[in-house]
A and B are shown apart, each in its own frame.
Chain A
Amino acid sequence: MANSERVKVRIPATAKKGEIIEIKTQVSHDMESGQRRDADGKPIPRRIITKFTCSWNDEPVISADWHQAVSANPFTSFFALASASGQIKLTWWDEGGEVYDYTHSIVVE
């Protein structure tokens, strides 16, 4: 699947085996909290990303459950242990049913 245009990442292209690398990501999303009202005073329905996962060659690295207090356009950074060359896959699930994917190829020497 093509990488989502909503997603920006900063991940190294190469790493040494056993190195701990930093993964920085940002996904463009309003994270509408459900707490706000529109100009007519009507509540704006909640719509947030509720789940995020990162895997490395299909092995789970980290995952998260997010709630309404995660800021708009969620930025995250975390770490991963470089194991083998392959694919780092990032996935965000929006409670409206949309899924945003990003796959990054990395060479581990």
Chain B
Amino acid sequence: MIAGFSRRRLLAVGAGGVGAALLPPLAPAQAQEADTLARQLMGAFTAREGKVHLKIKEIAESGANEPIGVMVDSPMTATDHVTAIHVLAEGNPYPVVASWYLTPRSGRAEVNFRMRLAKTQVVRAYAVISDGAVWEARQEVKVSIGGCGG
């Protein structure tokens, strides 16, 4: 909520004609929206970097159909397993791409799929562990042809 308020306020300041120089660059606003959505998915959390391996090209040939793989270091036992993997693309019209819910029967904490990327941006992958810990990885992907339709 705080992020949403401050973003609106900053936009209002810009609209009030105080000057474009006071507006933050676009990227932080995108990151704030992704932060807000991540909290909607996982509640209040503190993510640590590590354990999550994000397999995605640094330069996407087409933003329409980009392979992405998320692997998490986890024994996937009944007492210690990944319960969720969330993929967010900060610069997409709606940043949440997919949420995967795993069980010990998943055997291995890995999902692969294909996603759309509207433009050059940061892709995030979060993993929620059965003890409540959250781990994350981020990677910037350069996109030459956006994939959300025109």
Chain B, 76-132, CB within 8 A of any chain A CB: 76, 89, 92-94, 96-108, 110-117
Whether B64 is near chain A, meaning CB under 8 Å from some CB there, is yes
Contact (Cβ within 8 A) B112 A77: yes
Known: A62-B101, A62-B106, A80-B107. A71 touches B150 (CB 8 A): no
Set of chain A residues within 8 Å of B116, measured between Cβ atoms: 33, 68-71
Residues 41-85 of chain A, each 1 if its beta carbon lies under 8 Å from chain B, else 0: 000100000000000100111111111111110111111110100
Contact (Cβ within 8 A) A70 B149: no
Set of chain A residues within 8 Å of B105, measured between Cβ atoms: 56, 59-61, 80-81, 83
- The residue on B at minimum CB distance from A57 is B105
Known: A36-B149, A68-B93, A70-B115. A78 touches B98 (CB 8 A): no
Set of chain B residues within 8 Å of A83, measured between Cβ atoms: 105
Task: Tell me, in angstroms, the Cα distance from A20 to B77 when the chains sit together.
Answer: 13
Chain A, 1-47, CB within 8 A of any chain B CB: 20-21, 33, 35-37, 44
Contact (Cβ within 8 A) A71 B107: no
- B residues apposed to A, CB below 8 Å: 64-66, 76, 89, 92-94, 96-108, 110-117, 147-150
- A residues apposed to B, CB below 8 Å: 20-21, 33, 35-37, 44, 56, 59-72, 74-81, 83
Q: Given A56-B105, A69-B116, A70-B116, 17 other A-B contacts at CB below 8 A?
A: A20-B107, A20-B108, A35-B93, A35-B148, A60-B105, A63-B101, A64-B111, A68-B94, A70-B113, A70-B114, A72-B65, A74-B114, A80-B105, A80-B106, A80-B107, A81-B105, A83-B105
For the complex of A and B, 8 pairs with smallest distance between CB atoms? A36-B149, A81-B107, A20-B107, A79-B108, A71-B114, A69-B97, A69-B116, A77-B112
